């Protein structure tokens, strides 16, 4: 399969992931949790970042995503730890999980196999197995969706997310042609440019996912920032005319009203220095719908850019080289 085949199959991924989550046999826990830690990196870890964005205003305990060997000092037996690694062999996640286990945290694992699956089976940890042997970033729909089922199982959230997922699936199917058309147009504006992505607080995970897809699929550099924080620093960097930057605002009608005003003013400032500015509004009535809309759009942009750049979207040779060098030490 090519990367565009995976992107085209995104809603089927989400449907399949919901079936897997509904059928998961997870043991009950009598613990009262004070916090949640999601361990994961890359295509597996981005789900934790986005879940934090989606749920932060609706849960009563903090949810933190970590992308490192280390773990926060607060982790203890009242922490729910979700380890997400598509391959099951992500070095940093395994290190972090080992530390969480030593602190007697409640552990649940999302993986397709590898060492994590073995660890789950050997220790009788709750776990959800997703389809394997594919590029992790191309299977985002699985790991992301299962996080909601795990959080529901442990009583962190209720099942309301299911209706939003179903609406998002219907939305993406209905808007498929328009999303691809938008993506082609935006890719043309980003071709041979460095994309600069701006989002409002609450949707940073969308920007991070897009940046990662531009890096991995399109083999390009990219950066992002979040409003309002960007207004207190990066805005001052716009001082001279630039010819090699493509600015894109990912916007949502659910963005906080003051941040929407800030974005409008931002555009006025930045337009003095570049004319390559685009604005993309998500569709849907929920944060989940808005998020998945932008993610699907961003994935398609990264694919079209890979075609324009004449690169293999799936190839990750330099990452494999890094892992091989690390294995020698």
Radius of gyration, alpha carbons of the chain: 20
**Domains contained in the chain, CATH given:** 3-159 (3.40.50.10490), 178-308 (3.40.50.10490)
Report how far residue 23's alpha carbon sits from residue 219's, in angstroms, rounded to the nearest whole number: 37
- Helix, strand, coil % in the chain, rounded to nearest 5: 50, 15, 35
- Running DSSP on this structure, what letter comes out for residue 198? E
pLDDT at res. 175: 97
Active site residue 323: yes
Judging by DSSP bridges, how do beta strands 245-251 and 223-227 pair with one another? unpaired
Q: Nearest to residue 22, comparing CAs of 163, 160, 150?
A: 150
pLDDT at res. 57: 82
CA distances from 316 to 164, 215, 241, 307, 309 (A): 33, 10, 34, 16, 15
Cα 11 to chain centroid distance, Å, stands at 16
Residues 178/53, Cβ–Cβ less than 8 Å: no
Judging by DSSP bridges, how do beta strands 277-281 and 223-227 pair with one another? unpaired
DSSP string, 233-263: TGGGG--S--SSEEEEEEE-TTS-HHHHHHH
pLDDT at res. 200: 97
Report how far residue 183's alpha carbon sits from residue 177's, in angstroms, rounded to the nearest whole number: 10
Which portions of the chain are predicted below pLDDT 50?
none
Which candidate in 34, 102, 253, 323 is catalytic?
323
Which candidate in 127, 216, 219, 224 is catalytic?
216
What six digits make up the tokens of 278?
Answer: 């685009």
Which candidate in 232, 243, 268, 328 is catalytic?
232
Report how far residue 312's alpha carbon sits from residue 290's, in angstroms, rounded to the nearest whole number: 29
Active site residue 31: no
CA distances from 97 to 92, 102, 327 (A): 9, 9, 19
Report how far residue 298's alpha carbon sits from residue 277's, in angstroms, rounded to the nearest whole number: 16
Within 10 A of 307 (CB to CB), how many other CB atoms are there?
Answer: 16
pLDDT at res. 58: 86
Active site residue 216: yes
Residues 146/258, Cβ–Cβ less than 8 Å: no
């Amino acid at each position: 399969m090519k990367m565009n085949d995976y992107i085209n199959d995104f809603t089927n991924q989400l449907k399949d992931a919901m079936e897997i989550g509904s059928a998961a046999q997870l043991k009950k826990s009598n613990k009262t949790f004070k916090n949640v830690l999601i361990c994961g990196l890359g295509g597996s870890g981005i789900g934790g970042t986005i879940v934090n964005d989606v749920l932060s205003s609706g849960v009563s305990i903090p949810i933190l995503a970590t992308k490192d060997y280390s773990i926060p000092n607060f982790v203890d037996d009242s922490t729910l730890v979700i380890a997400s690694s598509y391959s099951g062999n992500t070095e940093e996640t395994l290190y972090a999980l080992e530390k969480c286990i030593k602190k007697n945290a409640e552990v649940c694992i999302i993986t397709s196999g590898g060492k994590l699956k073995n660890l789950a089976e050997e220790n009788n940890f709750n776990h959800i197995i997703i389809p394997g042997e594919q590029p992790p970033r191309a299977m985002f729909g699985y790991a992301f969706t299962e996080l909601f089922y795990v959080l529901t199982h442990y009583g962190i959230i209720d099942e309301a997310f299911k209706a939003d997922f179903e609406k998002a699936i219907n939305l993406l199917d209905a808007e498929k042609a328009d999303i691809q058309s938008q993506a082609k147009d935006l890719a043309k504006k980003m071709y041979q440019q460095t994309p600069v992505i701006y989002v409002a607080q609450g949707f940073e995970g969308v920007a991070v996912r897009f940046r990662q897809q531009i890096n991995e699929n399109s083999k390009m550099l990219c950066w992002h920032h979040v409003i309002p924080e960007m207004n207190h620093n990066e805005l001052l960097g716009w001082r001279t005319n630039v010819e090699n930057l493509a600015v894109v605002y990912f916007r949502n009608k659910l963005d906080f009203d003051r941040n929407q005003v800030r974005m409008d003013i931002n555009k006025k400032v930045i337009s003095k220095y570049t004319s390559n500015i685009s604005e993309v509004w998500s569709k849907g009535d929920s944060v989940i719908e808005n998020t998945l809309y932008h993610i699907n759009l961003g994935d398609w942009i990264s694919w079209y850019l890979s075609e324009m750049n004449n690169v293999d979207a799936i190839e990750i040779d330099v990452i494999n080289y890094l892992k091989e060098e690390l294995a020698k030490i």
